[in-house]
Amino acid sequence: MRSVLKTDSMGYIKKMIEQEIPGVYVLSVMIGKNIVEDTENGFFSDVNEQVSMVCNQLAQDPKLKGGYNAMGFSQGAQFLRAVAQRCPSPPMKNLISVGGQHQGVYGLPRCPGESSKICDMIREALNKEAYLGWFQKHLVQAQYWHDPLNDDLYKKYSRFLADINQERAVNETYKKNLQQLEKFVMVKFLQDSVVDPVDTEWFGFLKTGQAKETETLQESVLYKEDRLGLAAMDKAGKLVFLATEGDHLQFKEEWFKANLLPYLH
């Protein structure tokens, strides 16, 4: 089986998968011509354009024609879910979300990596102007910023997250395509200090109208109305919820091999 991975630094994971699954073809998706551009595009880019670029890249790879498994790390996970919903060819078999933010975030307590100045700048911008046109088109984190205190603004102006989460209308194609997955695996990090709220890693979020109480996926309108097909997938045993000790994207190699590798065969 083929595997497609999306994260900021994939060398170690790619090598481990290739060692554990002899003969596997692993494509590490990069947005840009090099690591520097890929890193910059993780902060400043149009996510919808990124998704289209990845869709084209996958469609043009003959080794993926028969289908592939996808693994996304952090924000790469919701971007790959958009690929599954928008681009059914070649078919995605399993989607593994490692610390993904499927209901977005409402806080940026700590950025991964060493970009503290960029992190502070982005946090200030998100708190004030997340739904303005320029930010929605050019600031990646604004495109999955989910403000529970301004739900109407979020649903109206969120160009990426509100679309893939069926907030404005139900796109039956998105729903049909996502349900083609054999498994949708979501990994939550129990001591995550980067993602706020951490419940978003299991598709939960803050209850609308306040910023303290959270709700699970199963308690949400998205699930109860089955706007994205997640309830049907859950009943069919296609949703897998995993948790591991550690901060954001911090996991033991043994845990990865035991819990995630089986979905890549």
Q: What string of DSSP letters covers 151-176?
A: HHHHHHH-SSHHHHTTSSS--HHHHH
Contacts of 263 (CB under 8 A, 6+ apart): 69, 94, 96, 183, 185, 240
Q: Could you say which DSSP state residue 229 is in? A: S
**Residue 192 appears among annotated catalytic residues:** yes
Options 3, 45, 74, 158, the catalytic residue: 74
Distance of alpha carbon 120 from alpha carbon 124, whole angstroms: 6
Options 46, 163, 192, 199, the catalytic residue: 192
Asked if residue 106 lies in contact with residue 196, where contact means CB atoms within 8 angstroms, the answer is yes
Distance of alpha carbon 71 from alpha carbon 188, whole angstroms: 14
**Residue 115 appears among annotated catalytic residues:** no
**Residue 74 appears among annotated catalytic residues:** yes
Active site residues: 74, 192, 248
